A = this chain, B = another copy of it.
């Protein structure tokens, strides 16, 4: 029981809290449709892969579910409800009728800077589960060992634990001067992002392997890039980040912000190629891949430019204010709206080169010595 069990992530990102027009809560429609699209996959995966009777030896122990990267809702509540419904379906058939039905405890996790107050106020009042909030980075241990039965995470694994140091090191080939993302950047920039993503995902899997019970389920929705995309030249999802970067450079040229601030700003997200992502899962010794599906991303796309900009703002506003200070966000996103209007094909690029991977992993049984 000695030592630290709570590791703090060096950098912490969280979506915009509260319920204002630029809050995550008001801009989560795109994720929701992907959660809806995953509902059938998720429920059939739990029905076939999650054996309630084997996993919950005792009905006095609650079934523990975690949603990692929950933000402030409401998507996390929908996802959790989907998991619970899938488990409940098993109850009449698998449950020993002499025992009490197991109760459910749900852990809602996000960064310490997440707005948990808003999350808690919006918890469904008639929920059939006990609910707690758990602050901290999911790239480290968050839960006691072998305490979770099902872990769910939607779109949160795109966020790196921290930015690769090389991006702001002027002596490095990966220095990303004048840009804020890896598209159309030197290959070294992409490689630095990719290395960080791989290390983070491995750390994520290592932590979850300790926290999940034997045969426990890890279901993730991950934003991925089509395998055909060459990031150094191709139009892509990240293209809109490029446009946003060019708006920042325009503002730097006008003296509204310093160019050095733009040089040291990079968006800490990464969208892996499908095949590279699957290689990481395949190489992992603690989990078996039970299912992987590319989900239609139609519902993921904003219906128009304004709503696309608003969603991106909800995701990036806190990060931008933290780096550049208050007072630039309104102008930045006004300029960005103009640029997207001038290049509306950015939205098409998102449509065709961008997918959502739904993957279900199962914790292998630990052989005890």
Q: How far is the CA of A146 from the CA of B105 in the complex (A)?
A: 12
Do A144 and B105 have beta carbons less than 8 Å apart?
Answer: yes
The stretch among A128-136, A171-179, A246-254 that forms the contact with chain B is: A128-136
Do B129 and A5 have beta carbons less than 8 Å apart?
Answer: yes
Q: How far is the CA of A10 from the CA of B144 in the complex (A)?
A: 34
Do B144 and A103 have beta carbons less than 8 Å apart?
Answer: yes
Do A132 and B130 have beta carbons less than 8 Å apart?
Answer: no
Do A146 and B107 have beta carbons less than 8 Å apart?
Answer: no
The stretch among A39-47, A111-119, A196-204, A280-288 that forms the contact with chain B is: A111-119
Q: How far is the CA of A104 from the CA of B141 in the complex (A)?
A: 13
* Interface size in chain A (residues, C-beta < 8 A): 46
Do A127 and B6 have beta carbons less than 8 Å apart?
Answer: yes
Q: Per-residue CB proximity of A140-169 to B under 8 Å, as 1/0? A: 011111110000000000000000000000
Known A112-B120, A117-B117, A145-B100; judge A6-B105 contact (CB<8 A).
Answer: no
Do A103 and B135 have beta carbons less than 8 Å apart?
Answer: no
| A74 is an interface residue with CB less than 8 A from chain B | no
What B residues does A128 contact at CB under 8 A? 1-5
Q: How far is the CA of A181 from the CA of B5 in the complex (A)?
A: 46
Do A105 and B1 have beta carbons less than 8 Å apart?
Answer: no
- Nearest opposing residue in chain B for A2, CB measure: B128
Known A6-B123, A112-B120; judge A1-B107 contact (CB<8 A).
Answer: no
Q: How far is the CA of A144 from the CA of B141 in the complex (A)?
A: 23
Known A120-B135, A125-B6; judge A146-B60 contact (CB<8 A).
Answer: yes
- Nearest opposing residue in chain B for A133, CB measure: B133
Complex partner residue of A145 from B5, B103, B115, CB under 8 angstroms: B103
- Nearest opposing residue in chain B for A104, CB measure: B1
Q: How far is the CA of A1 from the CA of B113 in the complex (A)?
A: 33
What B residues does A132 contact at CB under 8 A? 107, 132-134
| A93 is an interface residue with CB less than 8 A from chain B | no
Least distance between A48 CB and chain B CB atoms (Å): 20
| A304 is an interface residue with CB less than 8 A from chain B | no
| A8 is an interface residue with CB less than 8 A from chain B | yes
What B residues does A125 contact at CB under 8 A? 6, 8
| A88 is an interface residue with CB less than 8 A from chain B | yes
- Nearest opposing residue in chain B for A101, CB measure: B1
- Nearest opposing residue in chain B for A147, CB measure: B62
What B residues does A145 contact at CB under 8 A? 60, 62, 100, 103
- Nearest opposing residue in chain B for A60, CB measure: B146
| A91 is an interface residue with CB less than 8 A from chain B | yes
- Nearest opposing residue in chain B for A6, CB measure: B127
Q: How far is the CA of A294 from the CA of B4 in the complex (A)?
A: 35
